[in-house]
Amino acid sequence: MTAPLIDPFQRAITYLRLSVTDRCDFRCVYCMSENMQFLPKKELLTLEELDRMCTAFIRLGVEKLRITGGEPLVRRGIMSFFEGMGRHLESGALKELTLTTNGSQLEKYAADLYAAGVRRVNISLDTLDEKKFAEVTRWGRLPQVLRGVEAALKAGLRVKINAVALKGFNEDELFDLAAWCADLGMDLTFIEVMPMGDIGNENRIGQYWSLNDLRATLAEQFTLTDLSDRTGGPARYMRLEETGQRIGLITPLSHNFCESCNRVRITCTGEIYTCLGQEGKSDLRAPLRASEGDAPLEEAIRAAIGLKPKGHDFDYSRQELGGQMSRHMSHTGG
């Protein structure tokens, strides 16, 4: 058998998050600057190269593959990639194929994604207020996203809504978001805003809403029960006893989850980041293209995993940015 991927801290790497594009049809204020300079398309891995990259990781023990961006569904021809990955689901080597999306293209692609073997999607949605949605995304089109949510549910996909907790922005929608997700049978996960990239005039610390405070607000109205549920990622879940729904918290700032990290990220240009909150990266594109065989690629993958750090250094505790990353989230992949 091929030896599994084990990092220097004896964590098995079983989860790959692959960005297929840095482009997006929104410009969310915590993710991108308003006038983004995107990569030249010639620098991106081809769909065939993305397939070969993922296949190598699956051969080395990755069991969960999440496709990200940018917005992954704006990549031309992306459904052929999903269809190709379906063979690993059929063989049993891959346990789950999923994606994170802003929902704008789901009305078009939800049924095709289900047919390709996707059973679960995460949809990034921070507000149900159309005016505020236009403000946070800079481009708007909330009705289009809501039609995408509806299409995903109709296609049989399990939907989880990911909402970035933004102080002074969606604090007053906490209970509305929870009720909407409960009504439609969707999980809801809140994420603390992370210091990724230069976002112009936006104030990172001003955006930061600790999920400790969010949880305390929920507890004013609901009985909260911590759950041992895991979905392969960093979220920790609780149940609202009065509704029975599950809510997740991703807390890279107030309580990091590095000790159990099982994942790495690959950009659309073939860079591997073994930690979202560190600048360290390795190039996998060169070894991928160096040979028709995968031995150089596998050697480079193992070398990169051998450099995986213990954790990140995100820190807002002193009311200043600690651990700020120079790259935007859209470059690394959400």
- Supply φ then ψ for residue 106, to 5 degrees: -70, -30
Task: Tell whether residue 17 is among the known ligand binding residues.
Answer: yes
Task: Tell whether residue 261 is among the known ligand binding residues.
Answer: yes
CB-CB contact of 125 with 86 (8 Å): no
Task: Tell whether residue 160 is among the known ligand binding residues.
Answer: yes
Cβ-based neighbour number of residue 248 at 10 Å:
22
Task: Tell whether residue 334 is among the known ligand binding residues.
Answer: no
Cβ-based neighbour number of residue 9 at 10 Å:
12
Task: Tell whether residue 275 is among the known ligand binding residues.
Answer: yes
What single-letter amino acid sits at 87?
R
Give the chain's radius of gyration (CA, Å): 19
Helix (H) or strand (E) holding 326: none
Task: Tell whether residue 258 is among the known ligand binding residues.
Answer: yes
Task: Tell whether residue 100 is among the known ligand binding residues.
Answer: yes
Task: Tell whether residue 11 is among the known ligand binding residues.
Answer: no
Q: Could you give the angle at which helices 211-219 and 174-184 cross, rounded to 10 degrees?
A: 70
Which has the closest alpha carbon to 190: 165, 169, 215, 208? 165
Task: Tell whether residue 64 is among the known ligand binding residues.
Answer: no
Task: Tell whether residue 265 is among the known ligand binding residues.
Answer: yes
Task: Tell whether residue 263 is among the known ligand binding residues.
Answer: yes
Task: Tell whether residue 264 is among the known ligand binding residues.
Answer: yes
- List the end-to-end C-alpha distance of the chain, in Å, as a whole number: 32
Q: Which residues are annotated as a binding site for GTP?
A: 17, 66, 100, 160, 263-265
Known binding-site residues for S-adenosyl-L-methionine equal 30, 70, 124, 194
Q: Which residues contribute to the annotated binding site for [4Fe-4S] cluster?
A: 24, 28, 31, 258, 261, 275
Question: Which segments are annotated as binding site?
Answer: 17, 24, 28, 30-31, 66, 70, 100, 124, 160, 194, 258, 261, 263-265, 275
